[in-house]
Structure 1
Amino acid sequence: MTEADHAAVAAALAGTDAPDRVITNPQTVQRLSRDFYWYSPILKALLDDKVAEVVVQPISTDEILRVLATCYGRRIPVTPRGAGTGNYGQAIPLKGGVVLDLSRMDTIESITSEGVAIVGPGVRLGVLETTARVQGWELRCYPSTVAKASVGGFLGGGSGGIGSISHGGLRDFGTVRALEVITMEPQPRILFLEGEAVHEVLHAWGTNGVITKIWLALTPAVEWAQCAIAFPTFEAAFTFSEQIAADDRWTKRLVTTFEWPIPSTFAPIKSVTREGKALIFIMIAASELADLEATATAAGGEITHAAPYTGLRTIPLLSDYTWNHTTLWAMKHDPAFTYLQCGFSPTEARSQFAQLKAKFGVEILFHIEWMKIGTGAVIPGSIPLVRYTTEARLNEMIDFCRSIGVSVANPHSNNVEGGGRYRPDNIQLLTKYRYDPRGLMNPGKMVTFQPAPEMSPKE
C-alpha cells in the first residue's frame, strides 16, 4: 500500500476517534494479523511471516461501505477479522493490505420473544450467552473459546461446539436465520440473506462478503450440571458415552470422551482425572444428574466430579478442556502434539479405532465429541491428538483415515476447500464471483476462485 492508499482508507472512517481506529503500529498490526494457526506445524511454517499493512476498526456499516469501495478502487486486499480464535489461519492476510477488525461492532440489538438474537459481528459469544440466559435463552452451540470468540468470527470460520450434541452445528436446523452482508464491488451493496441463502457466506472465511449483522436462533435455557466419569478403558468409556449421546431421554449439552493419556495433560483439573483411565465429560440437565451418576456407576464408571453449572465462570469449567481446547492443553504439555478433525462412523467406529491403532499406535489418541448432524443422527465426531513428526506422515494418516471411512476436515490446510467444510454445490464459490469479482476478499483462501488477470489484487 502506498501513502495515498493509507490516507484514502483512513479517510473512509468518520468521527473524532477515527485516527485511533486506523492502526499502523507494527506490533499491533502483527498481533491483529494472527490467529491460532500455530496449532498446526504446517500452517505455522506457511503463515508465520504473513502480516497486514494496516488494521481498520469500523463501527458502522456506512464505514465498511466506504472502506470496501476505497479498497476495491485501489485493488487493496481486505481480510475480515473476528476475535482471531480460529485455527486454520482464516484471519491471516496472505497478500498484506487491510485487516478489517470488526470487534467494535459489538451491539446486541435485541433478543426476540421467539428466541432470535439480533447482533453485530463483534459481539462476544460469552457475552451473548450470559445476556441470553438472563432472558431465559441460551446459545444452541458455542466453541470452547466462547469467552473470546465473536459471533461473526464463529459464523465465518467455526462450525460447532458445546451444544452440538443436541442442536447440531451452525449450518444445521436453521440456527443462523439471517445475515446482513456487504459485498466487495465498485459500489458495495448491503444484502439481506435469510433461510438457505445464508449458506452463500456461512463458513466462507470472509472470502466473499463481510458479515455485518446476524439473526441467530437460541434455545430455551436449561439449568445444567457437569459431571466427569472415569472408566478403566477407552472402549468402556466410548460405549457409555455412546449410550448417553444417542438416548433422547437425556437432556445434554456436552458429551466428550478422552482416551488416556489425554486427561493427564489437564494440569489444572488433575483431581478429576484418574491415572491410566479414560474420561468422559458430560453437561447434563441438573434434574437428571443423580440418575446419570447412578447409571454411570452401574456401568462400571467412577464419578470423579459432579456439581452444578453456574455459568461460564463455573470452577472448574469442564468445557474448557473439550473441543479444540483439548488440543491446546496437550500442546502445552508436549509441543509435539497437533490434531485432526474427523468423523467416525456411528456403526463402524470400533473397527475404525482398531485399524488406526494397529497402524499408528500412540501416534494417534482418540478424543470424541458426540454431535447431532443435519439428518438428526448422532455421530462420534472427533478431534484426535496426533504426535507430529513429518508432513508426509501426517498426510499418510489423513489418507488412511479416509480409506477406512473416517472423514477428515484437514486443519493443516489454509483454504476453504481443503478444510473440509466446502459445499459440493459450489454456492460459496459462485457467490464469490458475484460479490467479490476482483478477488480482494481474503485472497488466497478460496483456491478454486480464479479472477481474470486484470482483476487480481495488487501484490
Structure 2
Amino acid sequence: MTEADHQAVSACLADPTRYLTNAQTVQRLSRDFYWYSPVLKALLDDKTAEAVAQPISIEEITATLACCHARNIPVTARGAGTGNYGQAIPLHGGIVLDLARMDAIEEITPEGVAITGPGTRLGVLETHARTLGWELRCYPSTVAKASVGGFLGGGSGGIGSVAHGGLRDFETVRFIDVVTMEPTPRLIHHAGNQVHEVIHSWGTNGIIVRIGLALTPAVDWAQCAVAFPTFAAAYDFSEAIATQDTWTKRLITTFEHPIPAAFAPIVNITRPGQALIFFMIAASQLEALQAAAEAAGGVVTHAAPYQGLRTQPLLSDYTWNHTTLWAMKLDPEYTYLQCGFSPTEVRSQFAQLKQKYGEDFLFHIEFMKNGTGAVIPGSIPIVRFSTVARLNEMIDFCRSIGVFVANPHSNNVEGGGRYHPDNIQLITKQKYDPQNLLNPGKMATFS
C-alpha cells in the first residue's frame, strides 16, 4: 500500500485514530490461533496486514470497502481472532477490518431472537440473554472472547450442540446482513436458507454487519465430572445419556486417558489413568445422573451448580478445542483433527484407529445433534504430529473406515470440510466480490 492508499482508507473513518499502522499492533491483529496446527504455523507465520481499520458503523464499513475496491486493496475481516484455521490471517497484505467495535446488542425479541452487531462477544450476549430468560443455543469454548460474527464466519458448533445442533441447523441463524465488495458496495439481507450463502465462508464473500441469532429458553444447569476405569466404559455411559431424550443436557464430553492429565488447574477432579466425562445437565437431574453414573461403575469427581460463565471451575474451558490447547501445554507434539464417527460403527472405528495408531491417536468425543435430529459422536481427537505425510495418512485412514474429517490443517474454506455442497458460497463470492479482494486466497475454487 502507498501512503496515498493509507490516507484514503483512513479518511473513511470518522476518527483517524481507529486506523492503525503500528507494526506490532497490526501484526497482533493479523493473527488468530492458527498455531494449533503445525502445518498452518509454517504456512502463515510470516503473513500480516499493512494496516487495521476499526469501523463503528455500517456506513464506515461501506465507505472503507468502496475505497479499497477502487484502489485494489485486499480486505480481511476479523472478529475476535479466536479461530484456529488462519481464517483471519491476510495472505496478501492489505487491510484487516477489525469489527470488534461493532458490538451493539440491538434487542432480544419476545420470540427469543438476538439482534446484534458482528463484534458482540458471545459471552456478553449469553450473560445478557440469561437475565431475560434466554440463552445461546450453542457456543464455542472460547465464548468469553469470541464474537458472534466470527462464530458465524468461521465456527460451526460447540457447547449446546448436543441439544440444538450447530449453527447451520434448526434455523439458529435467522438472518445475516452483509456489505458487498463492489465499486458501490451494497447492503444485502439474507434470511432463511439464504444464510447458508454466508455462514462459514471466512469473510470471503461479504462483510457481516448485522445478525439475527435464535436463542433458547434458559435452563438452570449443573456441572458434573465422572471418571471411569476405561474409555470404553466412559463412552458407553456418555453415549447413553447423550442419546436418551429424557436427559436435558448442554454438554457431554468424553476424554480418553491421558488427556485429562493435561488439565492442570482441575487435577483434583481427574483420576490417574482413567477416562473422564464432563456434563452440563439440568440441575433438577443432577442427583439422578450421579446415581446412574455410579450404577454404571463410574466415580463422580465433581458435582456443583452452574452459575454462569464465571463458575469455577468452568468445565467447558476444557472441552471442544480448548482440549487441544491443554494437550499442547502437556506435550507440544500434540495437535488435533476434527472428526465425526458413525453412531452405529463407532466402536469398530475406535478399535481400528487404536490398532493402527495406539497412543498417537487419543479419543476426545463431543456429542452433538445433526440436522436430522440424530445425536452423533463428533470428535476432536488429539493426535501426535511427526510429519505432514503421517498427519495426512491419519486423515486418509479415518476417511477409509468411514470417519468424517474436516481438516483443520487446511487454510481454505473448501479444505476444512465445511464447504456447502451446492457451491452456494462460491456463487455468492462471484456476485459480491468479483475482484477477489475479500480475504483473497481463502476460497480456493474461486477464479
TM-score bin (small chain) = over 0.9
Aligned to 2:322: 325
One-letter code of the match for 1:122? G
In structure 1, how many angstroms separate the alpha carbons of the residues matched to 2:202 and 2:364? 26
In structure 2, how many angstroms separate the alpha carbons of the residues matched to 1:447 and 1:243? 41
Which of the residues 215, 227, 230 maps onto 2:227? 230
Aligned to 1:21: 18
Counterpart secondary structure, 2:377:
strand
Counterpart secondary structure, 1:42:
helix
Which of the residues 43, 46, 51 maps onto 2:48? 51
One-letter code of the match for 1:321? Y
Counterpart secondary structure, 2:127:
helix
Aligned to 1:113: 110
In structure 1, how many angstroms separate the alpha carbons of the residues matched to 2:391 and 2:330? 20
Aligned to 1:255: 252
1:347-366 pair list within 5 angstroms: 347-366=344-363
Aligned to 2:6: 6
In structure 2, how many angstroms separate the alpha carbons of the residues matched to 1:336 and 1:141? 30
Aligned to 2:444: 447
* Equivalences, count: 447
Deviation readout 1:121-180 (Å, 9 max, x if unpaired): 000000000000000000000000000000000000000000000000000000000011
1:215-294 pair list within 5 angstroms: 215-294=212-291
Q: CA deviation at 1:119?
A: 0.3
Aligned to 2:98: 101
Q: CA deviation at 1:333?
A: 1.1
The answer to whether structure 1 residue 134 and structure 2 residue 131 are counterparts is yes
In structure 1, how many angstroms separate the alpha carbons of the residues matched to 2:145 and 2:58? 23
In structure 1, how many angstroms separate the alpha carbons of the residues matched to 2:250 and 2:431? 39
1:185-204 pair list within 5 angstroms: 185-204=182-201
Which of the residues 383, 403, 425 maps onto 2:422? 425
Aligned to 2:71: 74
Aligned to 2:32: 35
One-letter code of the match for 1:8? A
Q: CA deviation at 1:206?
A: 0.1
Aligned to 2:153: 156
Q: Runs of 5+ in structure 1 lacking a partner? A: 451-459
In structure 1, how many angstroms separate the alpha carbons of the residues matched to 2:62 and 2:239? 49
Which of the residues 130, 140, 145 maps onto 1:143? 140
Q: Runs of 5+ in structure 2 lacking a partner? A: none
Deviation readout 1:323-355 (Å, 9 max, x if unpaired): 000000011111110000000000000000100
Aligned to 1:438: 435
Counterpart secondary structure, 2:348:
helix
Counterpart secondary structure, 1:304:
strand
Counterpart secondary structure, 1:275:
coil
Deviation readout 1:32-51 (Å, 9 max, x if unpaired): 00000000000000000000
Across the aligned residues of Structure 1 and Structure 2, the Cα RMSD in angstroms comes to: 0.4
In structure 2, how many angstroms separate the alpha carbons of the residues matched to 1:392 and 1:151? 35
1:84-95 pair list within 5 angstroms: 84-95=81-92
Counterpart secondary structure, 2:142:
coil
In structure 2, how many angstroms separate the alpha carbons of the residues matched to 1:363 and 1:279? 18
Deviation readout 1:40-84 (Å, 9 max, x if unpaired): 000000000000000000000000000000000111000000000
In structure 1, how many angstroms separate the alpha carbons of the residues matched to 2:17 and 2:2? 20
Which of the residues 273, 278, 302 maps onto 2:299? 302
In structure 2, how many angstroms separate the alpha carbons of the residues matched to 1:65 and 1:227? 47
In structure 1, how many angstroms separate the alpha carbons of the residues matched to 2:224 and 2:24? 42
Q: CA deviation at 1:284?
A: 0.1
One-letter code of the match for 1:296? A
Aligned to 2:338: 341
Q: CA deviation at 1:20?
A: 1.5
The answer to whether structure 1 residue 405 and structure 2 residue 402 are counterparts is yes
Counterpart secondary structure, 2:49:
coil
In structure 2, how many angstroms separate the alpha carbons of the residues matched to 1:4 and 1:25? 17
Any runs of at least 4 consecutive aligned residues in structure 1 with deviations exceeding 2 A, and if so which? none
In structure 2, how many angstroms separate the alpha carbons of the residues matched to 1:333 and 1:362? 14
In structure 2, how many angstroms separate the alpha carbons of the residues matched to 1:256 and 1:363? 20
Aligned to 1:63: 60
One-letter code of the match for 1:320? D
Counterpart secondary structure, 1:249:
coil
Q: CA deviation at 1:19?
A: 1.7
In structure 2, how many angstroms separate the alpha carbons of the residues matched to 1:221 and 1:136? 5
TM-score by length of 1: 0.97
One-letter code of the match for 1:143? P
What percent of counterpart residues are identical?
76
